[in-house]
Structure 1
Amino acid sequence: MTTIQVSLGERSYPVVIESGLLSRAADHLAPLARGRRMAIVTDANVAPHLDTLARSLDTAGVAYEAIVLPPGEATKSWAQLEALTDRLLELGVERGDHVVALGGGVIGDLVGFATAILKRGCGFVQIPTTLLAQVDSSVGGKTGINARAGKNLIGAFHQPAMVLIDPDVLDTLPRRDLAAGYAEVVKYGLIDDPDFFAWCEANGAALLAGDASARVYAIAHSVAAKARIVGEDEFETTGRRALLNLGHTFGHALEAEAGFSTRLLHGEGVAAGCALAFAYSADLGLCPREDADRVAAHWRSVGLPDGLAAAGIDASGATLVEHMRHDKKMSAGTLPFLLARGIGRTYLDKTVDLARVEAFLDAQAR
């Protein structure tokens, strides 16, 4: 068992990583239940894992109520938020209770936001069941839903009480979803850890093929990296935490063009977005072209998109930049970009000319 602490003063919490942890989850959840019924929120695709968690709670004598939502990005909506909060109120959830989010990033984001606003804030626990959620969205307290104008535009910072990660649940994850989550693993190497990127180049294929030790190492390394950055900049005020958005400005624009649908999964958008960020940095003369080519080559080697065409996006630069204008990071008409001076040398640039980005994207589409 590996435990990584997210150090945030009174909001600190542990991230526990252990194979088979889901079957022993009640050991961690029972003290939070306080003898009351726990609400477990999940989606229809996570039924086998719900059964495992339910058996653990039954054995420990912890009462629970399961709320099963539709799967998919469309669940991060006002309608589902209203339905979930109404149901939690019907169950009598109190401010001192903890709601369990069992699922991928969609469930974690939605439950986190619902508990942030329910009775002005109650507790929740993340039990992520996808690689993307295990290495990224379950840690750090960013919660929210999507709006017509864009992704994650409505939300709140709300830290979980704990995160329980069982790498064994990834055995049932479709290969495409696993690869999409892997994009967030590689991101940590691209930000400030070139040795970890080299590890990914050497071990990424094995991780995706089912190598258990590679998965555990990648998860623990990624969580530790994110915990360190979140601990330094919880609310993204200094710019340090913004580094975690590498690939997301380009990627979210691609996702928006794809209608936030299964046409392009979030992690696929991040992969293509990272490739575009490095290619744009190379075009500006900031980053060695061979580094940008190396990033794109790694995405191709594991079956992830390395640009617009590979992501299935056929749109003008103007269209994609218009999506970017709805980014929640816009400030006084300026959109900060994560650019790179090389692998492991990412930085925040607040002087990017969107007209130049538009021209760059048009050139990429040709």
Structure 2
Amino acid sequence: MVQTTSDPKLSTGHPQRSSSETDQIIQFHHPEQYRTSEWYTGSGEIAASGDNRSFEVTATYTLTAEVKLVDGVFEPSNPTLAEIYSPRGRCVAIVDRSVDELYGDALRRYFESHEIPLQLLACRAWESDKTPETVHNLLKFLGKDGCDVSRNEPVLVVGGGVLSDVAGLACALQHRRTPYIMVGTTIVAAIDAGPSPRTCTNGAQFKNSIGVYHPPVLTLVDRNFFRTLATGHIRNGMAEIIKMAVTDDPILFELMERHGVRLLETHFATLGGDEELNAIADEVIYRALFSYMKHEGTNMFETYQDRPHAYGHTWSPRFEPAAKLMHGHSVAIGMAFGASLAVELNWLEPAERDRIINLCRAIGLSVYHPILEDIDLMLEGQKNMRRKRGEGGLWAPLPTGIGSCDYAQEVSSGMLEVAVEHHKQLCAALPDGGRGQEMYLSDLGLE
């Protein structure tokens, strides 16, 4: 039994301290028997001014989340999912409709073999479905009119980056915080959007502008799913690997330079490839994940803007929907332009810029699009990004070498125009003008 008292210094069950006769600070560490979740904990303190006129509350929130590479996640012999859902008596799952067509039978057989009831919603998850309406439909499935999930019941989400964003947001809204487990079936979902704490939908002409921070409690990465992806989707996801290689991991960059083309052709060693390439594929995925989550996972609420994983994502959220580009191509254009801008700022040697551009081009990613020349749109993108990043500056990550970066607090309109012009001239000398393969959404039948 917990007793209450009018004197905060005499509260029982929680350690406390008083800093002075007039200031009282009470630290609360809630007893373990009252926890509502095995993944979330919290504590806090309340500081009273002593005049019975004001007080201040400070609270902390701790999440334990795991990211794990697995092989054959839907093989009945793999115990990972069964160990989680068997004690709970069922599994509630949201699955990308295309993934359900390819892997739905295997998923159902898995839970049947472990005698775990499965309640599954197959959801179309195209870029055009990344809307508040989709989130609302998912909430119907999760809520009282559907499965009525518990606040501590982890929803299984299986699909690509779009589904991870909208389903993660729906879980964040359901009971204000329902945990979920992410099985990413694309490269973007596996190493970027899937484990990310940022869940979202698109706003009008600005990507990912509506959302909350709510990471999965467990992310399972099984590259066997890459086998059935279109090559254009493999290429699209590799842009997110390159951004971490450029800004954080020079070894990863060298691995991509040496093996990127073969990883693309073999869908990360799932369509042929020897034992060595299998090991390389695992190392590339692990390094990309570790670099990403080292910065993203430990800065969950974007309370700091030293975020290398935002490289390529400063101007692209504005020009990507306007030009109807595939996300990876948009990011690659942003990275290539960012490298050119870094050269203008004397942050980066031209030879290193050329390595970044050459790596993107080697796997067929775009490095230029005429939309960069719309300076008004680019400046509008900067304005939007300043607001998103807290009005303290633009904080655009730009490379300072292969495997390192710094952050441009501001980029003037004059510098922006000069950098765009020089980047345009650089790419004009390329055989295809910097154009990538299957660079538009319609190229892969997504619209």
Query: Residues 146-225 of structure 1: matches in 2 within 5 Å?
Result: 146-210=202-266, 211=269, 212-225=278-291
Deviation at 1:162, TM superposition (A): 0.7
**Any conservation in 1 of the 2:315–2:381 contact (CA below 8 Å)?**
no
Counterpart check, 1:256 vs 2:321: yes
Q: Quick check: which has more Rg, 1 or 2?
A: 2
What per-residue deviation string (whole Å, max 9, x for no partner) do you get for residues 298-326 of structure 1? Answer: 111111111225xxx47512223223422
Pick from 13, 35, 39: which aligns with 2:65? 13
User: Residues 253 and 204 of structure 1: is their aligned pair in 2 closer, same or farther, counting only changes over 3 Å?
Assistant: same
- Closer, same or farther: CA 336–354 of 1 in aligned 2, 3 Å: farther
CA distance in 1, matches of 2:77, 2:161: 19
| Structure 1 residues 238 and 331: CA distance shift in structure 2, 3 A | closer
Q: 2:375 aligns with which of 306, 317, 331?
A: 317
| Residues 300 and 231 of structure 1: CA distance in aligned 2, closer, same or farther (over 3 Å) | closer
SS in 2 for 1:92: coil
Q: 1:158 to 1:267 in 2, by over 3 A?
A: same
2:122 to 60, 68, 85: 68
Q: Runs of 5+ in structure 1 lacking a partner?
A: 1-5
Change (3 A) 1:7 1:218: farther
Alignment of 1:1-366 (within 5 A): 10-24=62-76, 27-33=79-85, 34-46=87-99, 47-89=101-143, 90-210=146-266, 211=269, 212-240=278-306, 242-258=307-323, 263-309=324-370, 313=371, 316-327=374-385, 329-332=388-391, 334-361=393-420, 364-365=423-424
Mapped to 1, the partners of 2:409 and 2:227 lie a distance apart of 41
How far does the alpha carbon of each residue in 1:5-57 deviate from its partner, in whole angstroms, 9 at most, with x for none? x9998412222212222324972233433434322112222121232222111
Residue by residue over 1:162-214, the C-alpha shift from the partner in whole angstroms, topping out at 9 and shown as x without a partner, is 11111111000110100111111111110122222111100101111213333
C-alpha separation between the residues in 1 aligned to 2:340 and 2:107?
44
2:6 is aligned to none
What amino acid is the match of 1:267? G
The CA distance in 1 between the partners of 2:376 and 2:62, in whole Å, is 45
Deviation at 1:239, TM superposition (A): 2.9
Higher mean C-alpha deviation, range 216-225 or range 16-25:
16-25
Q: Pairwise CA RMSD of aligned residues? A: 2.4
Equivalent AA in structure 2 for residue 218 of structure 1: V
Deviation at 1:295, TM superposition (A): 0.8
Higher relative helix content:
1
Q: AA paired with 2:400?
A: R
8 Å CA contact 1:250, 1:276 repeated in 2 = no
Give the AA of the match of 2:380. E
3-state SS, counterpart of residue 153 of structure 1: strand
Scaled by the length of structure 1, the TM-score of the pair is 0.89
- TM-score (ref. length: structure 2): 0.74
Aligned to 2:384, the other structure's residue is in SS state: coil
Q: Secondary structure at the match of 2:75?
A: helix
Query: Residue 3 of structure 1 aligns with which residue?
Result: none
Letter in 1 for 2:158: L
CA distance in 1 between partners of 2:355 and 2:171 (Å):
42
Instruction: Give the secondary-structure state (helix, strand or coil) at the position aligned to 1:326.
Output: helix
1:7, 1:19 → 2: CA distance?
A: 28
Question: Secondary structure of 2:116's match?
Answer: coil
Mapped to 2, the partners of 1:288 and 1:81 lie a distance apart of: 45
- Which letter maps to 1:114? A
**Aligned equivalents of 2:372, 2:251: Cα separation in 1:** 35
CA contact (8 A) 1:25 1:57 kept: no
Is the contact made by 1:192 and 1:345 (CA closer than 8 Å) also made in structure 2? yes
Q: Give the letter aligned to residue 163 of structure 2.
A: I
SS of equivalent to 1:102: strand
Letter of the structure 2 residue corresponding to residue 39 of structure 1: V
